[in-house]
Amino acid sequence: MVERVDLYTYDRQPTGETALRGEKLPPDRYRMVVHVCLFGSDGRMLIQQRSASHARWTGLWDVTMGGGAQTGDDSRTAAARELLEEIGLRADLTGLPPALTLRPGQVIDDFYILRGDPAPETLRLQAEEVQAVRWADAGDIHRMIDAGTFIPYKHELIDLLFALRDSRGCWTRPDRRGASG
C-alpha cells in the first residue's frame, strides 16, 4: 500500500499538497516524521529491532518507535498511531509537545519522550515492522551504533534523548490496555 503524506512549509504550515511516501519533494516542502522514546523508571529506553522485511534499516535496532505521518495526521496523532501499531501501546499525547524537533533535509522530525514500564513480552509487535524489543541504557546504544547494529544516529543525539528523559512536562504514561488487544 502506497501512503500519501501531507506537505508543510519549513515552519509547519500545511500547504494543502500531498506526495507519495518516498517521492522526491518539491523545493521548500517538508514531510513529517515522528519518533517516540519510552523510558522506564530505571532510566533505560525501550528499543526495537526492525523486522527482516522492513524496507529501510532492515534488522537494525532503533529507538522505541519511528514512523512517518500520513495524510491527515498531525504530529501527536502520528506518534500515538505508530506507537499503537508497532508495539501495541496506547498513549494519550494530548497537550504534550515534542521534546525535540530536528529538520534533516526535507523532514520535520518530532521526538516525543514518554515514561512507562511495560514488560517486553506483553507488547504486541507488528511483524511487518518490528521483530524484537528490549530495554537498553545509553552505553548499550552507543556500543550498538559503533558495532553497526543500531541505526547510525549521532552519539550526541542519543545522549540528548537520555538527558531529556528527566525534563518536566515530557512525561506521560502509556496506556497498557493497547498491549493486550
Please write the tens of the pLDDT for every residue from 21-51.
888 999 999 999 999 999 999 999 999 999 9
Alpha carbon of 128 to those of 8, 67, 87, 166: distances in Å?
A: 28, 13, 11, 32
How close are the terminal C-alpha atoms of the chain, in Å?
Answer: 24
Say what percent of the chain tops pLDDT 70. Answer: 92
Domains, the chain, ordered by start = 4-170 (3.90.79.10)
Per the CB < 8 A criterion, the answer to whether 172 and 91 are in contact is yes
Per-residue pLDDT at 173: 46
Residue 32, strand partner residues: 108
pLDDT at 181 over 70: no
Q: Which amino acid is at 115?
A: R
Kind and range of the H or E element at 133? strand 130-136
Per-residue pLDDT at 167: 72
**Strand 4-8 relative to strand 14-20, pairing:** antiparallel
Measure the CA angle with vertex 2, ends 28 and 73; round to 5°.
Answer: 60
Grid coordinates 520535520 are at which residue?
Answer: 108
